[in-house]
Amino acid sequence: MASDTAIQEAESAIARLATPPMIPDPYPLYDAIRRVDRVYESTTLGAYAVTGYKEVNTAARMASMRNGVRAAAMQRPDWQEHDALRLFLRALVNLDPPEHPAMREVAAAVFTPNAIKRMRSSIERLAHRFVEELAERARDGEPVDLVPALASPFPVAVISEMLGVAGDQGMLFYELANDWTRIWGGYYTDADLVQADKSVAELRGYFSELFRARRAERRDDLISALVEQHEAGRLDDEDLMALATFLFISGFETTTNLISTSVYTLLENRDQLELWRNKPEITASAVEELLRHGTPISGTVRLTGETIRLGGKEIPPGRMLFLMTAGANRDPLQFTDPDRLDLTRNEGGHVSFGGGAHYCLGANLARMEAQIVLPMIINRFSGIEVAGEVEWRTAIGLHGFEHLPLALSD
């Protein structure tokens, strides 16, 4: 039985989780919650905070779970009047059965392991281009902000090429997508929602134009493959729009954070940076460890569809669970000395890509991007230093940088 003080600490940790001072290092807060219970019923949240590795993994795989983000957004009485919410709730990640397995099948038929493998040479070419541009900008000795210079535009360029969005349009879509994703975390102002509706209208226009072009002339890209699924009757008009726009956004939103957080973490752990430089063969495990340590998406929300047992507790239907992947990835029952970055760690998988029916469809694309671009950065520059004020992103659920100025030397 936890003491009153421990419970107070856990509640205070939950209240502080998304506050700016805690954003760079929220992990002691997850520890405070986990110390009381790995499946903790919080009065502040009005929901369960799940911070245990085993428990997050188990809950993510329970077939009876429903999507909590969807349930929460639908509580807004006027959600149907906002296109930004309507289209978001049609995104693959927010669907429940029977719609989810049907759309997932189509998405998996298009976004195949082979389609990802075929991206390797494009990713290498793009990574090389962005790293050389970094070098060019760093030449005059001025700091270069890694986020707008590489961490953002590189994954945008990769997913744009994969989908078949022309290079110059990718960054325009990216700006519009940012207005839209601002409302995805659930905390936004009415003005944010108005702007999101406007930007979604514009995005729809551009994507409709792409669909028209690919109907007229197929190419070797994912938009053509999606248009084919639509023509075969496996997607209706709205599903086509929802899937294409969601694939585009999931292609960069999180990978951007993985890249920026990884570079920063390596700078804070110079011995590991040197180890990776000297032992390129650890690249695969290095990226897995950076995914674990930095957890680019801090968690996800589920709603119990029926009574479940989790962490020794019985939880009735209709209760919200916050699956805190960032906490689970630092669970000492699963990982030895979990706060330590150890690029050679081999202790079983992290939960950064979720689990179960909604397991990240782009996990291997994200891995490939990081495995290619991170070694290029650390090997291209012998000197890498933080040079100025860093700024973390404040969007709920995302862990990464808005600005990361670096001094780079050959």
| Distance of closest approach, residue 205 Cβ to ligand HEM, in angstroms | 22
Stretch that binds ligand HEM, among 187-195, 246-254, 269-277, 308-316 (CB under 6 A): 246-254
In terms of CB distance, is 195 or 352 closer to ligand HEM? 352
Of 70, 256, 93, 291, give the one whose Cα is nearest residue 178: 256
251 binds ligand HEM (CB under 6 A): yes
Stretch that binds ligand HEM, among 72-80, 251-259, 386-394, 402-410 (CB under 6 A): 251-259
354 binds ligand HEM (CB under 6 A): yes
| Distance of closest approach, residue 142 Cβ to ligand HEM, in angstroms | 29
In terms of CB distance, is 60 or 138 closer to ligand HEM? 60
Stretch that binds ligand HEM, among 33-41, 196-204, 214-222, 356-364 (CB under 6 A): 356-364
| Distance of closest approach, residue 344 Cβ to ligand HEM, in angstroms | 20
Site string for ligand HEM, 296-315 (x = CB under 6 A): xx--x---------------
92 binds ligand HEM (CB under 6 A): yes
Task: Please report how many Cα atoms fall inside a 13 Å half-sphere around the Cα of residue 159, on the Cβ side.
Answer: 26
Site string for ligand HEM, 154-183 (x = CB under 6 A): -----x------------------------
| Distance of closest approach, residue 159 Cβ to ligand HEM, in angstroms | 6
362 binds ligand HEM (CB under 6 A): yes
254 binds ligand HEM (CB under 6 A): yes
152 binds ligand HEM (CB under 6 A): no
- Calpha distance 201→26 (Å, rounded): 36
What six digits make up the tokens of 217? Answer: 């002339």
302 contact partners, CB below 8 Å, separation of at least 6: 59, 60, 65, 66, 67, 68, 320, 321, 323
In terms of CB distance, is 365 or 390 closer to ligand HEM? 365
Number of residues in contact with ligand HEM under rule CB under 6 A: 22
Stretch that binds ligand HEM, among 176-184, 233-241, 295-303, 373-381 (CB under 6 A): 295-303
Stretch that binds ligand HEM, among 129-137, 142-150, 260-268, 348-356 (CB under 6 A): 348-356
Candidates 71, 360, 376, 396: give the one binding ligand HEM (CB under 6 A): 360
Candidates 82, 104, 292, 345: give the one binding ligand HEM (CB under 6 A): 104
What 304-311 contacts at long range (C-beta under 8 Å, 24+ apart), as own/partner pairs, is 304/64, 304/65, 304/66, 305/64, 305/65, 305/66, 306/64, 308/59, 308/62, 308/64, 308/65, 310/39, 310/48, 310/50, 310/55, 310/58, 310/59, 311/37, 311/38, 311/39, 311/50, 311/52, 311/55
Residues at the contact surface with ligand HEM, assessed by CB under 6 A? 92-93, 104, 159, 247, 250-251, 254-255, 258, 296-297, 300, 352-354, 358, 360-362, 365-366
